[in-house]
Amino acid sequence: MQSFKEKDKQYIANTYGRFDVEIVSGKGSLVYDINGREYIDLSSGIAVNTLGMADDAWANAVYEQLKKCQHTSNLYYSEPCVRLAEILCTRTGAKKVFFGNSGAEANECAIKVSRLWGAQNKGSEYYNIITLKNSFHGRTITTLSATGQDVFHKDFTPLTEGFLYGEANNLESIEKLLLENKCCAVMMELVQGEGGVLALDTDFVLGVSKLCEKHNTLLVIDEVQTGNGRSGELYAFQVYGVTPDIVSTAKGLGGGLPIGACMMFDKTENVLTPSSHGSTFGGNPIACASAVHVLNRIDNELLGEVKKKSKFIFEELNGADGIVSVSGLGLMIGIETVGDVSVILKKCMENGILPIKAKNKIRLLPALNIPMELLIKSIEIIKKVASENK
């Protein structure tokens, strides 16, 4: 009989390099593979399972909605969708929300709103958007184009025109692009996740915000990965203290169900008009009920825990044997090791923990509510593995 792994290779498009583990169940931050082996989950499905695996209260919230109504289309009013938008606006200062189903779609909306705003306020030739080198904004042709990494562009050209790449933490490079091109927006992640978990300098972020004001250009923050409590605040822009014009988010918003949101602030709230954008599944009641529950659980107490756990990880790993550097923000952490990252990852798995990779780093994205004792155990294992494999 064919094994599952062989069938995966036969039937699934070959786009992912998978770890040799099949997770079948879990509870919180403990997950179990097909052989019943227990692991501590340190990536929560790439920053998606905000409350860990199969959280009881979350599952109930989803199930209650599932029994009532799973989908209606955007041709009708739907309460979960409105409740979610109200929570997002109240807690961020945003004025309006558009719902899609993924990070890429949230960014597509942010890009469309930026261009539309440019056309409405500056002229249709002001379509350029500045993004950063080493950024990641998604896999659709336009969000790939926004992504400032050549490796992702290769063989997919021609890409969507109108993206210019500035240098992270280099204000002059951003101002030069703003001066030499007709721009509608600067779009950036505050912590470059896929780029190696690099948090932007506060001075740079505040500087970009000022430049955007000076040049009448929108500030768009991609919070697909940094959002929904991961940074220690609900959104990372609140950590940096900037006021964005558009914020996109997804990953952790639904706590495991697919949902993305594009939030529009004062300058952009009335840019979208009927039929300028849309999505069949966007605002789906199940995904929205799920996200309402997740956001209500991300209260000050949980955010305080995120900060405390983050501090603990930085303190434990900074300067530890076999560890070169620790980067990131909140519970979005990159660890550069002396030893080869693939070897370290494999050893971590053998020791019962499941971190992932970002570039040449070990990346930690645990559930926000990972119990402290599991985190302590995981960090001990990482230290041991890093020290033994340098």
Ligand X SMILES: *Cc1c(COP(=O)(O)O)cnc(C)c1O
Give the amino acid at 335. Answer: I
Smallest gap from residue 109 Cβ to ligand X (A) = 12
Cβ closest to ligand X, residue 100 vs residue 322: 100
Three-state DSSP at 21 gives: coil
Site string for ligand X, 269-308 (x = CB under 6 A): ----------------------------------------
Q: How far is the CB of 352 from ligand X (least distance, A)?
A: 26
Residue number with CB closer to ligand X (41 or 189):
189
Q: How far is the CB of 106 from ligand X (least distance, A)?
A: 8
Q: Are 305 and 369 in contact (CB under 8 A)?
A: yes
- Among 51-59, 132-140, 162-170, 284-292, the segment contacting ligand X (CB under 6 A): 132-140
Stretch that binds ligand X, among 31-39, 130-138, 269-277, 282-290 (CB under 6 A): 130-138
Pairing of strands 218-223, 353-354: unpaired
State which residue, 222 or 245, has the beta carbon closest to ligand X: 222
How many CA atoms lie within 13 Å of 340's alpha carbon, on the beta-carbon side?
A: 3
CA 87 to chain centre: 19
- Residue 384's alpha-carbon distances to 96, 101, 390, in angstroms, are 48, 40, 11
**Contact stretch for ligand X (CB under 6 A) within 85-93, 131-139, 232-240, 290-298:** 131-139
Q: Identify whether the C-beta of residue 108 lies closer than 8 Å to the C-beta of residue 269.
A: no
Rounded distance between C-alpha atoms, residue 93 and residue 161, angstroms: 31
Which of 29, 102, 149, 337 is the binder for ligand X (CB under 6 A)? Answer: 102
Residues paired with residue 188 on neighbouring β-strands, in sequence order: 221
Please tell me whether the peptide bond between 158 and the residue prior to it is cis, using omega within 30 degrees of 0: yes
Q: Which of residues 178-217 bind ligand X (CB under 6 A)?
A: 189, 193-194
Q: Between 217 and 256, how does the x/- string for binding to ligand X read (CB under 6 A)?
A: -----x-xx------------------------xx-----
Which whole-number Å values give the CA distances from 299 to 201, 232, 253, 341, in the listed order?
A: 26, 11, 14, 35
* Ranges of H-type helices in 244-371: 285-297, 300-317, 341-350
Cβ atoms < 10 Å from Cβ of 249: 29
Residue 148 β-bridge partners = 133
Q: Nearest approach, Cβ of 216 to ligand X (angstroms)?
A: 25
Binder among 43, 109, 137, 261 for ligand X (CB under 6 A): 137
- Which of 136, 152, 235, 240 contacts ligand X by CB under 6 A? 136
138 binds ligand X (CB under 6 A): yes
Which one of the spans 97-105, 118-126, 304-312, 326-334 is the region binding ligand X (CB under 6 A)?
A: 97-105
Q: How many CA atoms lie within 13 A of 21 on its CB side?
A: 23
Query: CB under 8 Å to 147, separation ≥6 — which residues?
Result: 131, 135, 136, 137, 138, 153
Range in contact with ligand X (rule: CB under 6 A) among 133-141, 272-280, 328-336, 379-387:
133-141
In this structure, the strands spanning 191-192 and 260-264 are unpaired
- Among residues 51, 81, 104, 171, the one that binds ligand X under rule CB under 6 A: 104
361-390 positions binding ligand X, by CB under 6 A? none
Q: How many CB atoms within 10 Å of residue 32? A: 16
Considering CB under 6 A, how many residues would be counted as binding ligand X?
15
Q: Which is nearer to ligand X, 126 or 204 (CB)?
A: 204
Binding site for ligand X (CB under 6 A): 102-104, 107, 136-138, 189, 193-194, 222, 224-225, 250-251
